[in-house]
């Protein structure tokens, strides 16, 4: 049991369909419906691939981060759970997601030295009351036994990325992040944590700021990945 479990005790019903369960978060039926990425994936952004090693998006747009891994596709039940976690104060889901994310990171064999969450602007943070990426990063820090640093600060209150096209997303987050604790990331391999990767624009801008301030390599873990 983690600290978040104590604050937000696990429910005794499935968080998706409300069926009775003895433990955990999902009933067997909903658990079987999770869109887990098991097959071939892009070796850069982590999106599922039918064939090849790099997806067409990554071939067209180079990334500042080295690799992303996501345990899930951004579809179905996972998409619904992320919405609950991100917008409806279901903070306890950080523990559920982090179990899968930690296993995915371990399987990649990366040499991670510090974990950094993607930050929210203070206005957005005041509105929501919490940063979902920071909750995930803290849970991952506990599971992977790696120090977490709030090394990034969001200095622009950007428009939500959801309705924007790829080029608009890149322009929207340009210069949005600054490094505040340079000593915690300088010369180190960083694990950047966020909830979803679609175009990777936000994660690229974060990775750019980290690398410009001395980070060695920037790896990414997200709950899910999907196309726009």
Are 27 and 56 within one domain? no
pLDDT above 60: residue 84: yes
Count of the separate structural domains present in the chain: 2
Q: Which pLDDT score, from 0 to 100, does residue 1 have?
A: 52
Instruction: Please list, residue by residue across 112-138, b when 16 or more beta carbons sit within 10 angstroms of its beta carbon and e when fewer do.
Output: bbbbbbbbbbeeeeeeeeebbbbbbbb
Could you tell me which of 155, 174, 170, 176 has the C-alpha nearest to residue 228? 170
Kindly report, residue by residue over 166-191, the tens digit of the pLDDT.
Answer: 676 767 788 889 999 999 999 999 99
Range of the domain at 5: 1-33
* In a shared domain, residues 20 and 63: no
CATH number at residue 132: 3.40.50.2020
pTM of this structure: 0.90
* pLDDT higher at 2 or 149: 149
How would residue 156 be classed by pLDDT, with cut points 50, 70 and 90?
confident
**Residue 5 predicted with pLDDT over 70:** no
10 shares a domain with 43 = no
pLDDT score of 69 more than 90 = yes
Same domain, 101 and 8: no
Is the backbone of residue 76 left (phi > 0), alpha (psi -120 to 50) or beta? left
Residue 114 and residue 46 share a domain: yes
Rounded mean pLDDT, 122-140: 96
CA distance 119 to 158: 12
Q: What pLDDT does 226 receive?
A: 85
Specify whether 98 is located in the same domain as 13. Answer: no
Higher pLDDT, 12 or 215: 215
Q: How far is CA 156 from CA 34, 120, 224, in A?
A: 35, 9, 25
- Looking at the structure, tell me whether residues 175 and 63 fall in a common domain: yes
Judgement on whether residues 147 and 98 belong to the same structural domain of the protein: yes
β-strand 189-197 against 217-225: which pairing, if any?
parallel
132 CB contacts (<8 Å, ≥6 apart)? 85, 86, 91, 94, 195
The pLDDT > 70 percentage for the chain reads 90
CA distance 180 to 136: 20
Same structural domain, 10 and 46: no
Q: Are residues 5 and 69 in the same domain?
A: no
**Range in 4-8, 10-14, 110-114 with the lowest mean pLDDT:** 4-8
Beta carbons of 206 and 178 less than 8 angstroms apart: no
pLDDT at 162: 62
| Same-domain check for residues 164 and 107 | yes
Mean of pLDDT over the chain: 90
Closest CA to 161 of 120, 219, 212: 120
Same domain, yes or no: 99 and 8:
no
């Amino acid at each position: 049991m983690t600290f978040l479990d104590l604050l937000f005790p696990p429910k005794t019903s499935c968080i998706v369909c409300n069926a009775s369960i003895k433990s955990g978060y999902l009933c067997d039926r909903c658990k079987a419906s999770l869109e887990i990425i098991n097959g071939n994936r892009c070796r850069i952004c982590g999106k599922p691939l039918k064939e090849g090693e790099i997806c067409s998006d990554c071939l067209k747009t180079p990334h500042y981060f080295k690799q992303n891994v996501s345990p899930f596709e951004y579809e179905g039940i996972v998409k619904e759970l992320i919405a609950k976690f991100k917008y409806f104060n279901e903070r306890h889901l950080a523990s559920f997601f982090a179990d899968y994310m930690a296993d995915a990171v371990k399987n990649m064999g990366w040499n991670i030295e510090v974990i950094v969450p993607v930050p929210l602007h203070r206005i957005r943070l005041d509105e929501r009351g919490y940063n979902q990426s920071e909750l995930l990063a803290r849970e991952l820090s506990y599971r992977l036994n790696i120090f977490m640093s709030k090394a990034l600060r969001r200095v622009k209150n950007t428009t939500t990325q959801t309705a924007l096209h790829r080029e608009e997303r890149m322009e929207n987050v340009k210069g949005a992040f600054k490094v505040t604790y340079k000593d915690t990331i300088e010369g180190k391999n960083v694990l950047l944590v966020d909830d979803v990767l679609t175009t990777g624009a936000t994660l690229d801008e974060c990775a750019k700021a980290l690398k410009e301030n001395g980070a060695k390599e920037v790896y990414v873990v997200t709950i899910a990945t999907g196309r726009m």
